[in-house]
């Protein structure tokens, strides 16, 4: 069934908007997936605020051009799906890499992170990153450890000073009697 010009215009505008608002987009080859498997992919990515769309190649190329972005031609050949990442790119990458393992025919091609082209290896590396919350906890922990060590050292010095003063007091009381 052919898509009307009006529908093509709507798709084009939505692609441009999603490209401009998203942190990145990851392109996939979904050939070989049945409807149920494709719905599994869509539902999981929708939960992660990274909607997955089966896209028209000519329209996404025009949208990329409009957004002043570009990707290698081979990323947009044949049937292409795109996940627009509005939250954490690492979570989306992790899910898509997981789907590629779960569904043999599903392939991650590459994508964009901001305006930088990322290939499959970069996406795998991004997928291995911990979530934002975990990274923040690690940073806070790295700041907290030296401060905690300093507090322990200072309390040890104060405790030692208190023992010295107490011993001196007892010494003076003993010699003064």
47 lies in the same domain as 118: yes
123 lies in the same domain as 136: no
Alpha helices in the chain (DSSP H): 5-21, 35-47, 57-66, 89-102, 120-127, 132-176
Q: What is the CA radius of gyration of the chain?
A: 29
Distance CA(144)–CA(78), nearest Å, equals 51
pLDDT per residue of the chain (177 residues) written in tens, 0 to 9:
578 899 989 989 999 999 999 999 999 999 989 999 999 999 999 999 999 999 989 999 999 999 899 899 999 999 999 999 998 899 999 999 999 999 989 999 999 998 899 999 999 998 888 777 777 777 777 777 777 777 787 787 888 878 888 888 888 887 765
pTM (2 d.p.): 0.73
92 lies in the same domain as 108: yes
99 lies in the same domain as 166: no
Q: Domain limits at 120? A: 5-129
In the chain, how many domains are there? 2
33 lies in the same domain as 82: yes
16 lies in the same domain as 39: yes
């Amino acid at each position: 069934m052919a898509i009307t010009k009006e529908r093509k215009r709507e798709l084009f505008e939505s692609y441009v908007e999603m490209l401009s608002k998203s942190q990145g987009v990851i392109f996939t080859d979904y050939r070989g997936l049945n409807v149920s498997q494709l719905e599994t992919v869509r539902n999981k990515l929708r939960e992660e605020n990274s909607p997955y769309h089966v896209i028209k190649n000519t329209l996404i190329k025009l949208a990329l051009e409009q957004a002043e972005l570009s990707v290698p031609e081979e990323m947009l050949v044949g049937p292409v799906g795109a996940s627009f990442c509005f939250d954490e790119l690492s979570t989306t990458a992790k899910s898509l890499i997981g789907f590629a393992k779960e569904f043999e025919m599903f392939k991650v091609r590459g994508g964009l992170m901001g305006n930088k082209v990322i290939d499959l290896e970069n996406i795998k590396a991004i997928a291995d990153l911990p979530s934002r919350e975990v990274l923040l906890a690690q940073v806070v922990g790295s700041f907290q450890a030296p401060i905690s060590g300093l507090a322990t050292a200072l309390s040890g010095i104060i405790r030692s000073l208190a023992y010295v003063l107490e011993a001196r007091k007892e010494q003076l009381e003993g010699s003064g009697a």
